[in-house]
Amino acid sequence: MSEKNLNQKLKDLDKKVEWFYSDDFKLEKAVEKYKEALALSKEIEEDLKNLQNEIEVLSEDFSKDT
């Protein structure tokens, strides 16, 4: 199974958050769903940090060429 990209993770997180506002909301499942959303948000944050680092490295490389 391939790893999800950032856009897919953001869509998944959006669906998890929407669940809290849906008719399917059950208080008994809220903690579990919250933990899932929290874990996914941490993955997204890590992905964004990695992208930021990559962009900074590329920016440095381009600034050296000029």
Domain ranges across the chain = 6-65
Can you read off the two tokens belonging to residue 49? 């940090």
pTM: 0.78
> What is the helix (H) or strand (E) element at residue 21, kind and residue range?
none
Residue closest to 6 by CA, chosen among 38, 41, 55, 32: 41
- The mean pLDDT of the chain is 91
Alpha-carbon torsion angle 47, 52, 58, 63, nearest 10: 180
> Residue 65 has what pLDDT?
62
Q: How far is CA 43 from the centre of its chain?
A: 5
pLDDT classification of 44: cutoffs 50, 70, 90: very high
Unique residue bearing structure tokens 């993770």:
9
Q: Which amino acid is at 12?
A: D
pLDDT at 38 exceeding the cut of 60: yes
Residue 2 clears pLDDT 70, i.e. is over it? no
